[in-house]
């Protein structure tokens, strides 16, 4: 009986995949119609940590959004870098109210995350680090709304004129690693270079990398959604154990 069920689900999913592959050769609109018909509604929330609303970081995020949209996945780029975000004060207020008591973009993002299936963090490089605003935003979001991040695929991209990119990426990666979030990669480190959006558009390799990441994100999101439809949920974590170095 179990084997019959697996054979049925395999054939059913093979029909899904065959139709998707066929539609990819036709029109992007058809892909979205197929996904809606089969209840595959997905959205990726993208955070722009640059002080500039439509600068280099936005250009990279927009390139990713374009590919995700082609794959039938909705996107939203939320600009959080224009206003000071502050850092987590460790006050514990969010544990009482259910949200960061300092409000602002963190509370707004937490609400949006409840409807999102994937997340992208984008930032310019400032002194070999992510922007101060994005750093504070991520820390506050992680602590007050981490439950809305859990198990959602995450990606990242940084923009720089010249250097400091890998250390900035390392900082962003710390948040997904804390919340069971699969980190989506491409064929190289996710970075673009340039001082202006026009410069970034000339970075052919950088833009190709973020497009590859977007395709991989779409693939993983579709696999997860099909898995859910077939009763495959994410694993339950073990009860956290804390080992102190000093006793």
DSSP string, 144-197: HHGGGTTT--EEEEEEESSS-HHHHHHHHHHHHHHTT--B---SS--EEE-SSH
pLDDT at 38: 58
pLDDT at 102 over 50: yes
Which one is predicted more confidently, 233 or 37? 233
Backbone torsions φ then ψ of 85, nearest 5 degrees:
-100, -20
Over range 222-241, report the average pLDDT.
93
Please write the tens of the pLDDT for every residue from 41-57. Answer: 899 999 999 999 999 99
pLDDT at 5: 44
CB atoms < 10 A from the CB of 173, how many? 15
Q: How many whole angstroms from its chain centre is CA 38?
A: 23
pLDDT at 247: 73
pLDDT at 41: 84
pLDDT at 3: 52
Over range 62-75, report the average pLDDT.
97
pLDDT at 4 over 80: no
Cα(36)–Cα(23) distance, rounded to whole angstroms?
Answer: 13
**What's the pTM value of the predicted model, to 2 decimals?**
0.85
Please write the tens of the pLDDT for every residue from 156-166. Answer: 999 999 999 99
Tokens representing residue 207 in the block: 């833009």
Torsion angle defined by CA atoms of residues 128, 133, 136 and 139, in that order, rounded to the nearest 10 degrees: -80
Tokens representing residue 202 in the block: 């000339």
Mean confidence (pLDDT) of the chain = 89
């Amino acid at each position: 009986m179990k084997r019959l069920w697996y054979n049925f689900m395999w054939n059913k999913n093979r029909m899904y995949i065959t139709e998707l592959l066929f539609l990819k050769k036709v029109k992007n609109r058809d892909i979205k119609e197929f996904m809606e018909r089969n209840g595959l509604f997905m959205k990726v929330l993208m955070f722009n940590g640059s002080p500039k609303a439509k600068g280099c970081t936005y250009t990279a995020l927009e390139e990713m959004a374009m590919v995700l949209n082609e794959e039938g996945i909705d996107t939203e780029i939320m600009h959080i870098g224009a206003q000071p975000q502050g850092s987590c004060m460790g006050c514990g207020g969010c544990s009482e109210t259910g949200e960061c008591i300092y409000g602002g973009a963190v509370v707004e993002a937490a609400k949006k995350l409840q409807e999102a299936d994937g997340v992208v963090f984008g930032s310019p490089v400032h002194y070999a680090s992510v922007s101060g605003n994005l750093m504070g935003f991520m820390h506050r979001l992680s602590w007050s709304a981490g439950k809305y991040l859990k198990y959602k695929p995450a990606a990242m991209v940084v923009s720089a004129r010249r250097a400091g990119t890998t250390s900035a990426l390392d900082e962003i990666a710390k948040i997904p690693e804390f919340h069971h979030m699969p980190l989506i990669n491409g064929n190289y480190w996710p970075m673009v270079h340039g001082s202006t959006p026009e410069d970034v558009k000339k970075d052919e390799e950088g833009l190709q990398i973020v497009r590859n990441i977007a395709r991989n994100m779409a693939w993983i999101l579709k696999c997860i959604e099909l898995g859910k439809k077939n009763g495959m949920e994410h694993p339950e974590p073990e009860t956290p154990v804390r080992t102190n170095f000093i006793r």
